Structure 1
Amino acid sequence: MRLNVSLAATTVAGLLCVLCAAARTAPAAAPPAAASSAAPEQGFVPIFNGKDLTGWDGNPKFWSVKDGAVRGETTKENPTKGNTFIIWRGGLVGDFDLRLSYRMTGGNSGIQYRSRDLGNWVVGGYQAEIANDGGRDGYIYDEKGKRGRMCLVGEKVTWGKDGKKQVTGSAGDLEKIKAGFKKDDWNEYRILVVGSHIQHFVNGVQTIDFTDEDEVSRAMSGILALQIHAGAPMVTEFKNIRLKKLGPDPAPLPPAPKAPAPAKAEAPKAK
């Protein structure tokens, strides 16, 4: 009987040794995977293929593709006499989330949305400003309209039914917005539009919060386009352009009055 007990004890001790050794050599369990910042963006569709201008319509004197980016360029020898745009021909946008990378040197640029095609690569409507300046990139401008700079960086604004601007608060810390901006380098733009509510973000920081209640002047749908501004020689570039529609496709717009071909250079818009 003593022999059996001794044998059992020896067996148990041996098993414990084996288990301890296995525990020491087994790889540590991986911690739960954290959400990746590079995770795919659900519902977003690329609208620029990175190779050519398929699906886009602009004056070939100024627009091309270089190093995987849409490139708009003017020079002293090849100026534009008026603001000129490259238009996305993939449809209209109503409610949407647009994200892209951009870089600009010299001049002035912008991103048009819910805008009107006036012909001759001229566009009017909401514009997300690009000025290569952390204090200005991200405001909203009324291209070819009468409302000018509708909401400046850092502002929360309601444009009332009476056609007047009402600053109702702040959209964020202007110094924080400036601090995150990379001059002469690639920055990230996001434009989020739902109903009459418009928000812009640069490098993940909100720059404006704008509500447009002016039923006479506002637009609920329209085209997307990218701008070259008349004036000093400039280069503007856009890549990783992706769009998520947040509602049904808008109905076709009635024809807009066509703009004449530009005859003279436009002065840079007021800052």
Structure 2
Amino acid sequence: VLLTMLFAGACAVAEEQQLFNGKDLTGWEGNTDLWSVQDGCITGRTTKETPAPGNTFLIWKGGEVSDFELTLKVKFTTEPDNGFGNSGIQFRSKVADPAKFVVGGYQGDMATTTTYFGMLYEERGRGILDNVGSKVLIKEAPEPAGTLGKPDEILAGLKPTEWNEYRIVAKGSLIRIYVNGRQTIELDDQSKAAASAGVLALQLHAGPPMMVQFKDLVLKPLK
């Protein structure tokens, strides 16, 4: 029995995949004027001299994901005086313009504005699907399906300019997002527009100068 348990545990660990080697952008594709590795972290940065012409993405080249758990750490470094930072994690998404690294689909949102940190958005699609603290069911139109608590309480430990843990769990039609261990949203997307598989990507939002960093990206397929 002990050997069986050890073997099962080993298999579970083996299924986990580190998406970033901590050294360079091997396995990822994006605009290298905007994406780089700094201090051992994937770093997306815009400046006055190198702005993003539009929302742009660093795309993981490891294939499509379907049912999975993705965990990572993220933080923003805002330029002086503007306080701007906007990013996200695309999943089950599609590459809309390979030449410009444009992606559309589900996005776990994150921003220096805590209202958006942990909500679910659909890039180049239906817009906001689920706000922090809400459970939503979509068949034809979004319907309230319950509550997870008050957004301010759920995100009480959030400090956007420090490292925060972000976790996405997608299984069938059900999508959950967690920030620092607290569940922020739950979406059951049973609509015709729902996506069951697609690419992973990191977003760098157009706008004022900003920097976002990612590390410890771990993907675990779910069966």
TM band (smaller chain):
0.7 to 0.9
Q: Secondary structure at the match of 1:219?
A: coil
Q: Secondary structure at the match of 2:155?
A: helix
Q: Work out which of the residue numbers 59, 64, 67 in structure 1 matches 2:31.
A: 59
Q: What residue number does 2:197 align with?
A: 221
Once the two structures are superposed, what CA deviation does each residue of 1:108-136 show, in whole Å capped at 9, x if it has no partner? Answer: 11000000011220000000001123332
Q: Work out which of the residue numbers 219, 227, 230 in structure 1 matches 2:206.
A: 230
Q: Work out which of the residue numbers 136, 140, 160 in structure 1 matches 2:116.
A: 136
| Higher strand fraction (1 or 2) | 2
Q: CA deviation at 1:142?
A: 0.8
Q: Work out which of the residue numbers 128, 134, 137 in structure 2 matches 1:158.
A: 137
Can you give the 5+ residue segments of structure 1 that lack an aligned partner in the other structure?
1-40, 248-271
Q: Secondary structure at the match of 1:176?
A: helix
Q: What residue number does 1:113 align with?
A: 91
Q: Secondary structure at the match of 1:179?
A: coil
Rounded to whole Å, the distance in 1 between the matches of 2:207 and 2:95 is: 22
Q: Percent of aligned positions with the same letter in both sequences?
A: 49
What's the TM-score, normalizing by structure 2?
A: 0.88
Q: What residue number does 2:172 align with?
A: 195
Given that 1:156 and 1:208 are in contact with CA atoms closer than 8 Å, whether structure 2 keeps it comes out as: yes
Given that 2:155 and 2:179 are in contact with CA atoms closer than 8 Å, whether structure 1 keeps it comes out as: no
**1:239 aligned to 2:219?**
no
What's the TM-score, normalizing by structure 1?
A: 0.73
Q: Work out which of the residue numbers 72, 76, 96 in structure 1 matches 2:48.
A: 76
Q: CA deviation at 1:171?
A: 2.2
> What letter is aligned with 1:117?
V
Given that 1:135 and 1:178 are in contact with CA atoms closer than 8 Å, whether structure 2 keeps it comes out as: no
Once the two structures are superposed, what CA deviation does each residue of 1:207-227 show, in whole Å capped at 9, x if it has no partner? Answer: 001000112x11000000000
Given that 1:142 and 1:148 are in contact with CA atoms closer than 8 Å, whether structure 2 keeps it comes out as: yes
Rounded to whole Å, the distance in 2 between the matches of 1:173 and 1:194 is: 25
> What letter is aligned with 2:156?
A
> What letter is aligned with 2:72?
L
Q: Work out which of the residue numbers 98, 106, 130 in structure 2 matches 1:126.
A: 106
In terms of Rg, which structure is larger? 1
Once the two structures are superposed, what CA deviation does each residue of 1:53-95 show, in whole Å capped at 9, x if it has no partner? Answer: 0000010110000111100000011101111000000111000
- 4+ aligned runs moved over 6 Å, structure 1: none
Rounded to whole Å, the distance in 1 between the matches of 2:50 and 2:173 is: 39
> What letter is aligned with 1:245?
P
> What letter is aligned with 1:73?
R
Given that 1:134 and 1:179 are in contact with CA atoms closer than 8 Å, whether structure 2 keeps it comes out as: no
> What letter is aligned with 1:47?
L
Backbone CA RMSD of aligned residues: 1.2
Q: Secondary structure at the match of 1:153?
A: coil
Once the two structures are superposed, what CA deviation does each residue of 1:167-218 show, in whole Å capped at 9, x if it has no partner? Answer: 1111233232221101311101000000000000000000001000112x11
Can you give the 5+ residue segments of structure 2 that lack an aligned partner in the other structure?
1-11, 79-83
> What letter is aligned with 2:105?
G
Given that 2:24 and 2:36 are in contact with CA atoms closer than 8 Å, whether structure 1 keeps it comes out as: yes
Q: What residue number does 1:211 align with?
A: 188
Given that 1:133 and 1:181 are in contact with CA atoms closer than 8 Å, whether structure 2 keeps it comes out as: no
Q: How many residues align?
A: 203
Q: Secondary structure at the match of 1:175?
A: helix
Q: Secondary structure at the match of 2:107?
A: strand
Q: Select the structure with the greater relative contact order (CA < 8 A; seq sep ≥ 6).
A: 2
Rounded to whole Å, the distance in 1 between the matches of 2:22 and 2:173 is: 32
